Every structure is written in C-alpha cells, then in structure tokens.
Amino acid sequence: MEKSIDVRDQQTNSDTAYDRCRIPAADVYETSDAFVLMLDLPGVVKEGISLIHEKGELKVRAVAAAGQPSDMKVLVREVRPATYSRTFTLGDGIDTESIDARFDSGVLTVKLLKSAASRSREITIN
Amino acid sequence: MMMRIERFPVIRPALHNILNLEKELESLFGTDTYPVAPAARHRSPLINVAESEKETVVTMELPGVSREDIKIAFEGGVLSISGERKERQLPEGARWVRNESFAGTFRRDLRLAKPVNAGAISAELKNGVLQIVVPTAEEARPREISIR
C-alpha cells in the first residue's frame, strides 16, 4: 500500500488529450423502496455533470475541471484530463419520474425509487 | 420484484474477469454498457505533481473522504499524505448490489527535490480532490542578478 515516488526521476509528459474516457467506480445498494447509486467523480464540479435518463438507461457523463495551470512543469501525471462516462441499465421496477441526484465531495449520489408495484412490503395476516 | 437482468456479450481482459467475477454474479441492478474494472479502484489514490519556480503543487484524488480523515506531514524532504476512506455504511435493511469504491487506509510519500518552505505548505480539499501547495524555499528559487 505504501508507495514512494522520487519526484526528480519523473519524466515530463505534455500529453493533454481531453477525449479520454474514465469509468467511475460505482457503489449501489438496495433498500426496500429504492436503489441508491454512488459514483466517484473527483475533480468534477456539479455544473460539469450530465445525468440523462433515456430509454431505460441512466447515462452519467462528467468533465473534470482543469487541473494545474499549463505554465507549470509536470513531474507526475497519474490522472489525465478525461471525461467520466458510465451507463446503467435500469430494470422495469424503477420509478423513473422521481430520480433524485446530489453531488458532494466528489461523489454523485443518485436515488432511484422503486415503482410502487416492485417495492417489498410486509403483508399483514388477517 | 421484477428486475431485468441483461448481459452484453463483451470480451474482457482476464484480470478484470477475476477481479469482478464475484460482483458480476451478484449484480441485479442491471449491466453497465462498459462492464470493466473502473480505473478509480486503486489502493493508492492517484496523484499529479507539477512545479513552477515558486512552488510544487500536488493533487490527489480522494472522493468521499472527509477532511478529518486526511493527514499531511512534511519531514526530511518527504511529503507524506495518508488517511482513510471509511467504509460506506449501509442503512438498516439495505444490501449491496455493487461495491466498487475503495475503502481503507492509504499513504503516499513524495520526496521533493527542492528545498521547501515547510511552514508555508497549504492544503485544500475540494470536490474530492486534495490540493497541496508546497512553496519552494526562497534560496532555491532562481533569481536574476542585476548588472551594475
């Protein structure tokens, strides 16, 4: 886990292609009435995120804000400018009219409520 | 409950298959268009380092990490960034469908080439990115000598 980098040994890399695509890590949990999707989008501002629901798919696209000023010399570049993109196929049991999304600390959280018919419920025994 | 399960016929590198097999098996949520292991799942958070004459700027990707869980130290020319991304807590009665994000401790040590003004190191955490600005020591900055 520990990693040491000697900055002096790094090569300068001036590759600045913006068309790279990154697949953000996703966590999804299910409750009795919803699915909650959490995507890691570090370096993105809220305004840079597009969340589109179309034809049973939820498409997330986000552009990371510019990094270091271009007049600086790059010593280490593990993160390149890129567009985050990931598409999820939604099942029939999602109420697509009530998708709620918020963005905090580089994490996009999307709450997908289950449609009434697909919620689990306890049946009272008469 | 009716959830549609779809799988796209995709060819993935063998390593991804091994890493993701368990997750793919338990996936009921649906299938991603690109079901490959996300690059973000690293134990060492990714960094960029850039420098100018005045300063060295280190940025580290730490989505979902709170300020209190990050420790920055500078000693013997080495900048250490360590901390923990806490495991996400499931609400009661909930279950994971997919769990790809990194959780656990991390640490990265960077040996900086130039003498620095350690007292003036500053750090900011914004939108899941930690940015540390390390000013170069005055005596190490290039300066122009005026000719009399």
pTM of structure:
0.73
Nearest to B100 among A8, A25, A30 (CB): A25
Q: Same structural domain for residues B28 and B56?
A: no
Does A91 fall in a domain?
yes
List the domain range (segments joined by +) for residue A41: 15-115
Contact A73, A7 (CB under 8 A): no
The per-residue pLDDT for A68 is 61
Does A8 fall in a domain?
no
Does A126 fall in a domain?
no
Q: In this structure, what CATH number is given to the domain that contains residue A22?
A: 2.60.40.790
Nearest to B96 among A29, A65, A92 (CB): A29
The per-residue pLDDT for A64 is 82
pLDDT tens profile A27-79: 999 999 999 999 999 999 999 999 999 888 899 999 887 666 678 999 998 88
Does A39 fall in a domain?
yes
Which residue on chain B is closest to A104 by alpha carbon? Answer: B127
Q: Does residue B36 surpass a pLDDT of 70?
A: no
The per-residue pLDDT for A69 is 67
List the domain range (segments joined by +) for residue B130: 39-89+99-148
Q: Same structural domain for residues B13 and B46?
A: no
- Overall average pLDDT of the B88-113 stretch: 90
Does A4 fall in a domain?
no
Does B94 fall in a domain?
no
B63 part of contact set with chain A, CB < 8 Å:
yes
The per-residue pLDDT for B70 is 96
Chain A partners of B129 at a C-beta cutoff of 8 Å? 42-43, 106
CA dist B46 → A75, A76, A123, B118, B129 (Å):
13, 10, 49, 23, 10
What is the rounded CA–CA span in Å between residue A117 and residue A94?
10
pLDDT tens profile B7-20: 433 333 344 444 44
Question: What ipTM was reported for this prediction?
Answer: 0.77
